Structure 1
Amino acid sequence: MKKYILFDHDGVLVDTEFWYYKAGERALAEVGLTLDKDQYLRDMKDGLGTWAQAKAAGVAEHVIAGCREVRDGYYQEYLRTEAIEIEGVVEVLMELSKYVRMGIVTTAKRVDFEVIHEKRQILQFMDFVLVREDYELSKPHPEPYLTGLKRFGATKEETLVVEDSSRGLKSAVAAGIECAVVYNDFTRTQDFSQASYPIETLMDLKGLILQAI
């Protein structure tokens, strides 16, 4: 029986991954580099991201550092102005809160996380949030989810992780926690063979949890 759920954030509870890509694309365009989306998605499978193509193209580290700052500014602009809600999330969390306790374990930086949740209703259902600054080693290392277990005082067997990336799935598996993977367009081609429960939407997660009670 599952009593606790640890949610990843971006791509699971909010639809931000496209805008993260667009912010990087926009920043690199300013230094004359076109960010290839297909290559970006392939790089994501290997735990890489926006800057892999820049490095491969010989862009200097100090230029990349400047692009990071520009990207971060564009990303926060998008977070404030674009529609990043995922339909049905609040309703599912409201229903799940009757049966399980929930927390968020994200690689998002605190400043971005706070922008996202300035005007949203998700956090009212969470016992706690762990952002990137709250642990030392990032996913796919197990530390983030092991830290979440400690915060709950929960066992691995009574906890479920909900992820959308192979990197996050590897983190959950390394922590010894069953993982449900919800698919989205940015991660759909990644390897989820180790997932305990592949689901299309969080609506499926509600059914999964209620069946186990």
Structure 2
Amino acid sequence: MKEYILFDHDGVLVDTEYWYFKAAERALCEAGFVLDAEQYVRDMACGAGSWVQARAAGIDERALGRVRGARDAYYQEYLRTEDIEIDGVLDTLAELSAYVRMAIVTTAKRADFELIHEKRRIRQFMEFVIVREDCALAKPHPAPYLTGLKRFGAAPEEALVVEDSARGMASAVAAGIDCAVVHNEFMRTNDFTGATHRIESLRELKDIVLMSS
């Protein structure tokens, strides 16, 4: 069976993808630009980032620097005030802990990650966390998940990645790791052709782990 699970974070363990978009949308609106949600999702799916549309519209880097600062502040506001829980996550992690070793591999910034987990109990099930600052290359590059394998001392075939985005799935596939894509409504239009498994919730992971034995 699979011995290791490497979890993405945003959209998998906490429901934050939408609020990251809303923070960028709000900050850009104040700069006079309307962010298109569908194009944003397409851009993020290939790792292009939040500001592709704004740059194409001629917003310069100095202005984007101010927008980025506002986006970060709004995002942290949403993390403090909005409901970002995903039902069943803690129970599932507790159950999986009897079978596998687990870690988080995320492109979230350390400050955002720490804020999210000030009062949550998810980290108790994780042996380590890799955040954006821990890896020079971000998803869809394989480096984040290869780093996770190295930390575990695991071979790719011993591990399973859990993702919600095409960008993250591409990172896992490029690292040679099977990937289970869990449904996230905000990312539903991504192309998940390369996924090993498609699941509606994390509750299905136990069956995947056990059937791989």
- TM-score interval (norm. to shorter): over 0.9
The Cα shift of 1:48 comes to 2.4
The Cα shift of 1:46 comes to 2.9
Partner of 2:196: 196
Partner of 1:156: 156
Measure, in 1, the Cα distance between the counterparts of 2:172 and 2:113. 21
Measure, in 2, the Cα distance between the counterparts of 1:5 and 1:163. 11
The sequence identity of aligned pairs, in percent, is 67
Q: Deviations over 1:75-125 (max 9, x none)?
A: 001001111010000000000001100000000010000000011010000
1:119 corresponds to 2:102:
no
The Cα shift of 1:210 comes to 3.0
Partner of 2:144: 144
Letter in 2 for 1:150: K
Measure, in 1, the Cα distance between the counterparts of 2:167 and 2:121. 27
Partner of 2:207: 207
The Cα shift of 1:50 comes to 2.5
Give aligned pairs, total.
213
The Cα shift of 1:207 comes to 2.1
Measure, in 2, the Cα distance between the counterparts of 1:152 and 1:82. 34
1:87 corresponds to 2:106:
no
Letter in 2 for 1:33: F
Measure, in 1, the Cα distance between the counterparts of 2:38 and 2:135. 31
Listed as ranges, the gaps of 5+ residues in structure 2 are none
Q: Which stretch shifts more, 49-58 or 133-142?
A: 49-58
Measure, in 1, the Cα distance between the counterparts of 2:118 and 2:210. 30
Partner of 1:96: 96
Partner of 1:129: 129
Listed as ranges, the gaps of 5+ residues in structure 1 are none
- RMSD after superposition: 1.1
Local SS of the residue matching 1:198: strand
Local SS of the residue matching 2:156: coil
Measure, in 2, the Cα distance between the counterparts of 1:195 and 1:106. 18
Measure, in 1, the Cα distance between the counterparts of 2:175 and 2:53. 31
Letter in 2 for 1:101: R
Measure, in 1, the Cα distance between the counterparts of 2:173 and 2:39. 26
Partner of 1:50: 50
The Cα shift of 1:131 comes to 0.3
Measure, in 1, the Cα distance between the counterparts of 2:40 and 2:10. 17
The Cα shift of 1:45 comes to 2.7
Partner of 1:105: 105
The Cα shift of 1:44 comes to 2.1
Measure, in 2, the Cα distance between the counterparts of 1:183 and 1:48. 21
